[in-house]
């Protein structure tokens, strides 16, 4: 099954963002892609930097974003493709919105929404409200999770997804800094999963969109240029290239984390308990 990480231009113009997202979805569908993910804020804009009044969400055009989200849903249905699109999610009262990823199915259904749980210090200062739980969804026998931006620096996010049985994590960020790229490769290799990383085109020079394999190596990357692009890779759990990470390391690490393989080998020996002798 083909997946893709998108690299699109993101601006304060929600309609323009929607057009950019739609164009890339169409290109991905034409290439046989089943699941595509876009960057953080790909539809809404990464609003603190792109709104006229960064401390007042009342100036944000929620109706326009909803119209564009519905257009994405319709396009997914028409082209039979799953899409993960970044946007703000409005909450009641004066609560700041979630920084979210909307997950659309190939029938146009809004399957679920991933809300960023580990917010940056800036985001906590009235910019966004933190999410509460991981999400997963299944496509053609493969299970996906989602993570956003600074969550790349929290190993527990990716280990949790591995424990939930995901085959791939769709990572969406407003820029993929060098240390993000380093830790994402580590998370992929340590948890034996694919990671698709999406970023805005204007941030591509510091780290383009791409897909990392379950061996921790890049499978493909977009050009590091400020232009719309797609990084397409094939998910195949039976690929001989990934026999060790998928067929050997992944099930063994699951058993290791559960601990039984160690507990049954533990010994009752005074020399084991004595840590002050040679």
Sequence-separated (6 or more) residues with CB below 8 Å from residue 17? 8, 10, 11, 42, 43, 44, 45, 68
Closest CA to 3 of 236, 181, 261: 236
- For 185, the enclosing helix (H) or strand (E) is helix 178-191
Structural tokens at position 67: 């119209």
Averages of pLDDT over runs of 10 residues in the chain (278 residues) are: 97 95 98 98 79 67 96 98 97 93 98 97 89 98 98 98 97 96 98 98 96 98 96 97 96 93 95 92
| pLDDT recorded at residue 41 | 95
| pLDDT recorded at residue 125 | 85
| pLDDT recorded at residue 114 | 98
Fold of 2-240: Nitrilase/N-carbamoyl-D-aminoacid amidohydrolase (3.60.110)
- Using CB atoms within 10 A of its CB, is residue 266 exposed (0-12), middle (13-18) or buried (19+)? exposed
| pLDDT recorded at residue 49 | 60
| pLDDT recorded at residue 58 | 82
Structural tokens at position 111: 């399957």
| pLDDT recorded at residue 53 | 55
| pLDDT recorded at residue 52 | 45
| pLDDT recorded at residue 54 | 52
* C-alpha torsion sign, points 162, 168, 169, 171: positive
| pLDDT recorded at residue 256 | 94
- How far the first Cα of the chain sits from its last, in Å, is 56
Structural tokens at position 60: 């944000």
């Amino acid at each position: 099954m083909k997946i893709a990480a998108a690299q699109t231009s993101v601006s304060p113009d929600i309609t323009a963002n929607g057009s950019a997202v739609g164009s890339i979805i169409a290109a991905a569908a034409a290439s046989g892609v089943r699941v595509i993910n876009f960057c953080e804020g790909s539809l809404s804009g990464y609003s603190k930097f792109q709104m006229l009044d960064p401390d007042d969400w009342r100036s944000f055009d929620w109706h326009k974003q909803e119209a564009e989200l519905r257009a994405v849903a319709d396009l997914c249905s028409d082209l039979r493709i799953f899409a993960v699109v970044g946007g703000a999610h409005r909450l009641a009262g004066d609560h700041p919105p979630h920084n979210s990823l909307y997950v659309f199915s190939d029938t146009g259904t809004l399957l679920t929404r991933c809300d960023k749980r580990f917010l940056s210090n800036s985001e906590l200062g009235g910019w966004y409200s933190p999410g509460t739980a991981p999400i997963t969804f299944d496509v053609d026998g493969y299970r996906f999770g989602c993570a956003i931006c600074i969550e790349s620096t929290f190993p527990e996010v990716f280990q949790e997804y591995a424990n939930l049985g995901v085959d791939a994590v769709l990572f969406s960020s407003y820029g993929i800094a060098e240390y993000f790229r380093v830790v994402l490769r580590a998370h992929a290799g340590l948890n034996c999963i694919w990671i698709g990383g999406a970023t805005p085109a204007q941030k591509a020079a510091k780290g383009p969109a791409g897909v990392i394999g379950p061996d921790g190596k890049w499978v493909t990357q977009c050009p590091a240029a400020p232009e719309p692009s797609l990084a397409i890779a094939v998910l195949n759990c039976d690929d001989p290239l990934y026999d060790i990470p998928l067929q050997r390391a992944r099930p063994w690490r699951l058993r290791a984390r559960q601990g039984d393989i160690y507990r049954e080998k533990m010994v009752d020996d005074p020399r084991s308990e004595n840590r002050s002798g040679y």
